[in-house]
Amino acid sequence: MSKILPPGDQRRLDDLLSRFTDDAQHMIGYPGTHIIDFSPLAPFLEFFLNNIGDPYSASTFRLNTHEFEREVVTWFKQILRAGETDVRGYVTGGGTEGNMYGMYLARELLPGGIVYYSEDTHYSVAKILRMVNARSIMIKSRPDGEMDYDDLMRTLHLHRDVPPIIFANIGTTMRGAIDNLETIKTILKDLAIARSYIHADAALSGMILPFVDDPQPFGFDAGIDSIAISGHKMPGCPMPCGVVLARQAHIDRIARSVEYIGTSDMTVAGSRNGLTPLFLWYVIKTLGHEGFRDIIAECTAISDYAIAQFKAHGITAWRHKNSLTVVFPRQAENTLKKWQVATQGKDAHLITMPHVTRNHVDQFITDLVAATRKTETQKTAIPA
Ligand SMILES: Cc1ncc(COP(=O)(O)O)c(C=O)c1O
């Protein structure tokens, strides 16, 4: 078997690399990023690594990174304010798996419970709710993307006999809105609801709020039962991954002993990526708490810079407190495509992830304004 790639295929790889080099310079609309050099981890590509099973139990299969995975979970436990609360978790394939895990735990704890989630919730959640066969009700969103608490209150009131499972957004996909956990808990208390479950979808903001001075409630100290974060968003892992954490008592309900792998399993998947925990561990050890504080402060300054630049060009743009998602009116479709800007309805957004510089913002707004002017000129041109 030849070990050398035929020249035609090598050329295709070279072309792909050059396309990625260019496209990465025009990516301001999605929450992926590139912060540090991961090449010191390249030697680990030589091994078949599989983190199958419970990262907290010894397994017959030893080519895993469970030890590093546990350290990653411990770090997240600390930034997510678990304190002395018994919380565990594992490294997932992404935010979606973490949300699925939260819904799975909630359904096991409250079988027959109703899941409440807002209109601005990530599209994958409806898919998850079908998979776990959960009864669910969509709650209205306010115009800024946060849950409409009056609608939540009214709807919960109608179903007071069924335990609620609240799917709270800690940073919505499109507008970065944060559902208020304190308000949600007050509503549950006012309605005298004794049994409930709160899952936090903190895909991006779970790695922002721990590093700002005045965060909205987001962690275990705010009464959540589980939380999911994406590892390829703010931590900048170059492949999809994530972290899910939950109260140990909920995890215990689903953990099963599996003879074949010689360990217990409390995860959703069978085989699990052994490299991603190493990448997350590496970024945490390299940057640490202080590194992320600095990064978030700079990203926030660039968000404000973007809003000011939009304003200077007569375009209204805004962001939620502690959010890096800058929302502006959808326009000039080709320019949005060029810069990989996400849209929904009348809104577009850019996200000032660590790789987005003031220079990117300037270039994008210049492109956007020029394209919008051109369209307007064409519209108003009087036919000869
Ligand atoms: C709020 C929110 N939840 C969940 C997800 C899904 O996360 P992932 O892409 O890591 O599966 C996203 C992705 O953008 C998101 O923005």
Distance 74 CA to ligand 1 centre (A): 22
Give me the pLDDT at residue 1, please. Answer: 55
Q: How far apart are CA 15 and CA 28, in angstroms?
A: 22
User: Is residue 86 situated within a structural domain?
Assistant: yes
User: Is residue 306 situated within a structural domain?
Assistant: no
Handedness of CA 165, 171, 172, 175 (dihedral sign): positive
- CATH number for 209: 3.40.640.10
Q: Between the CA atoms of 253, 254, 257 and 259, what dihedral angle is there, to the nearest 10 degrees? A: 160
* Segment 3-25 mean pLDDT: 93
- Across-strand partners of 169? 201
Which residues contact residue 349 at a Cβ distance below 8 angstroms, ignoring those fewer than 6 apart? 29, 174, 175, 176, 325, 326, 327, 328, 341, 342
The protein residue with its alpha carbon nearest to ligand 1, atom 15, reads 173
Q: What is the DSSP letter of 113?
A: P
Q: How far apart are CA 370 and CA 115, in angstroms?
A: 46
Give me the pLDDT at residue 234, please. Answer: 96
**Token pair in block for residue 95:** 């935010």
Q: Provide the domain limits for residue 121.
A: 40-285
Give me the pLDDT at residue 367, please. Answer: 96
Give me the pLDDT at residue 251, please. Answer: 93
Mapped onto helix, strand or coil, the DSSP state of residue 176 is coil
User: Is residue 16 situated within a structural domain?
Assistant: no
User: Is residue 118 situated within a structural domain?
Assistant: yes
User: Is residue 258 situated within a structural domain?
Assistant: yes
**Token pair in block for residue 163:** 């335990």
The protein residue with its alpha carbon nearest to ligand 1, atom 16, reads 173
Confidence class of residue 261 from pLDDT cuts 50, 70 and 90? Answer: low
Q: How far apart are CA 104 and CA 99, in angstroms?
A: 9
| Three-class SS of 41-82 | HHHHHHCCCECCCCCCCCCCCCCCCHHHHHHHHHHHHHHCCC
pLDDT digits (tens, 9 = 90+) for 186-211: 999 999 999 999 999 999 999 999 99
User: Is residue 234 situated within a structural domain?
Assistant: yes
Confidence class of residue 375 from pLDDT cuts 50, 70 and 90? Answer: confident
Q: Which of 124, 167, 353 to mutate to test the pocket of ligand 1 (most atoms within 8 A of CB)?
A: 124
Q: How far apart are CA 250 and CA 3, in angstroms?
A: 49
pLDDT digits (tens, 9 = 90+) for 110-133: 999 999 999 999 999 999 999 999
pTM for the model stands at 0.95
Q: How far apart are CA 286 and CA 280, in angstroms?
A: 10
pLDDT digits (tens, 9 = 90+) for 205-253: 999 999 999 999 999 999 999 999 999 999 999 999 999 999 999 998 8
The protein residue with its alpha carbon nearest to ligand 1, atom 10, reads 95
Q: What separation in angstroms does the CA of 301 have from each of 201, 270, 304?
A: 25, 42, 5
Distance 95 CA to ligand 1 centre (A): 5
Q: Which of 173, 239, 340 to mutate to test the pocket of ligand 1 (most atoms within 8 A of CB)?
A: 173
User: Is residue 125 situated within a structural domain?
Assistant: yes
- Closest C-alpha to 182, from 148, 217, 213, 154: 217
Residue 384 has pLDDT above 80, yes or no: no
User: What is the chain's mean pLDDT, rounded?
Assistant: 95
Which residues contact residue 375 at a Cβ distance below 8 angstroms, ignoring those fewer than 6 apart? 331, 332
Q: How far apart are CA 53 and CA 258, in angstroms?
A: 8
Give me the pLDDT at residue 184, please. Answer: 98
User: Is residue 1 situated within a structural domain?
Assistant: no
Q: How far apart are CA 136 and CA 128, in angstroms?
A: 11
Tally helices (H) and strands (E) across the chain: 10, 12
Which residues contact residue 251 at a Cβ distance below 8 angstroms, ignoring those fewer than 6 apart? 88, 105, 266
Confidence class of residue 382 from pLDDT cuts 50, 70 and 90? Answer: low
Which residues contact residue 23 at a Cβ distance below 8 angstroms, ignoring those fewer than 6 apart? 340
3-state DSSP: the chain helix, strand, coil percent, rounded to 5?
A: 45, 15, 40
Q: Point out the catalytic residue in the list 141, 205, 226, 323.
A: 323
Instruction: Tally the domains of the chain.
Output: 1
Residues with a CB atom less than 6 Å from ligand 1 = 31, 94-96, 122, 124, 169, 171-173, 201, 203-204, 230, 240, 242
Decide if 319 contacts 144 (C-beta within 8 A): no
Minimum-distance ligand 1 atom for the alpha carbon of 173: 16
Type of residue at 237: C
Annotation says 323 is catalytic = yes
Distance 3 CA to ligand 1 centre (A): 38
Residue 143 has pLDDT above 80, yes or no: yes
